[in-house]
Amino acid sequence: MKYTQLDIAPTISSLLGFEIPDKDGREIKEIGAYCADKSIDQILLIVVDGVGAALYKKLDGALAQLQALSDDGLFFEIHSLPPRITTPNIGTILTGYAPEHHLLYKVADTFYTPVRSILEIASDNGIKSGIVIELLGAKAMLNRVDLAIGVENLHGIIDYDRRITDLALKAFSLEGIRLLMIHLRAIDNCAHHYATAWDDFAFSARTIDKNFERICRGLCRPTLILVTSDHPIHVKKWAHLEDNNADVPLIASYLNVATGPNKRE
Ligand SMILES: [Zn+2]
């Protein structure tokens, strides 16, 4: 059976050695097997907003660093769950519950919820966890995880993504975070606000790829990097770029600065 966004949180929980109660997803066994002979100090989960599996393939050269990570690791096309909107779909990725189970449809829903994400369960199990996300999302997570950093989009989305990336590296190196989730938004923002042609998507993807380069250079400890997306493009004008495909990519790649010419093992 094909994997879905429900399976990401159970895979992380299995790697970190704890259970998600009543989860709807299941562990992705291939990732467990891939990690079995590796020493993993920390896990970085990156949600790239609004990139379906079809668009990901079309962006080929514009996401060269991400594709190098994929070539070194594992690549899956996983099913994205309806409604394919940012908040509920990130809710699914972080909880392992279907939307009708987690009920996180709007950002306001994330403030007062009995549902615990994998970040909170990790923290309760003594595994320092954090999130670097837009300001309101981070506010919702305050006091529920070890580190919640909010970033405001004050100087454009490219600057925003770069700040998110910088703060992610600091969270690992300065705060000893062992499970971190970040959200990079340039491609979705481009689809919603300024895309007039394909080149705009390629440009946005290259700005995201620069952040992957900085992550690969900047991580100091052996890290499992998981990269996925919340939904394929959902802006009607550009939906054709996804070829009627509701899948999103999932990349699992191990990065160890201590080994390998490209800092990868
Ligand atoms: Zn989104």
Residue 250 binned pLDDT confidence (cut-offs 50, 70, 90) = very high
What does pLDDT average to over the chain? 95
pLDDT surpassing 90 at residue 222: yes
pLDDT of residue 258: 67
Q: What spacing in Å lies between the alpha carbon of 90 and ligand 1's midpoint?
A: 8
Residue of 191, 18, 35 whose CA lies nearest to 96: 18
Mean pLDDT computed over 142-149: 95
The CA distance from 146 to 169, in Å, is: 15
**Residues around the ion ligand 1 (C-beta < 5 A):** 49-50, 86, 188, 230
Token pair of 264 as six digits: 């990868």
The CA distance from 114 to 131, in Å, is: 19
pLDDT of residue 153: 94
pLDDT of residue 1: 87
Backbone φ and ψ for 140, nearest 5 degrees, come out as -65, -30
Q: What spacing in Å lies between the alpha carbon of 48 and ligand 1's midpoint?
A: 8
Token pair of 228 as six digits: 């996925």
Q: What spacing in Å lies between the alpha carbon of 244 and ligand 1's midpoint?
A: 17
pLDDT surpassing 50 at residue 261: no
Mean pLDDT computed over 140-169: 96
**For 45-97, what is each residue's pLDDT tens digit?**
999 999 999 999 999 899 999 999 999 999 999 999 999 999 999 999 999 99
Residue of 260, 185, 264 whose CA lies nearest to 223: 264
Mean pLDDT computed over 100-122: 94
Residue 112 binned pLDDT confidence (cut-offs 50, 70, 90) = confident
Mean pLDDT computed over 203-229: 97
pLDDT surpassing 70 at residue 260: no
Q: Residue 211 is inside which H or E element, if any?
A: helix 198-218
**For 15-49, what is each residue's pLDDT tens digit?**
999 999 999 999 999 999 999 999 999 999 999 99
Residue 191 binned pLDDT confidence (cut-offs 50, 70, 90) = very high
pLDDT surpassing 70 at residue 263: no
Token pair of 186 as six digits: 């340039």
Residue of 228, 208, 212, 217 whose CA lies nearest to 160: 208
pLDDT of residue 127: 97
Q: What spacing in Å lies between the alpha carbon of 262 and ligand 1's midpoint?
A: 31
The CA distance from 185 to 14, in Å, is: 28
Token pair of 155 as six digits: 């100087």
Q: What spacing in Å lies between the alpha carbon of 85 and ligand 1's midpoint?
A: 6
Q: Decide: 231 and 84 in contact? Cβ < 8 Å.
A: yes
What proportion of the chain, given as a percentage, has pLDDT over 70? Answer: 97
Q: What spacing in Å lies between the alpha carbon of 63 and ligand 1's midpoint?
A: 18
Q: What spacing in Å lies between the alpha carbon of 38 and ligand 1's midpoint?
A: 32
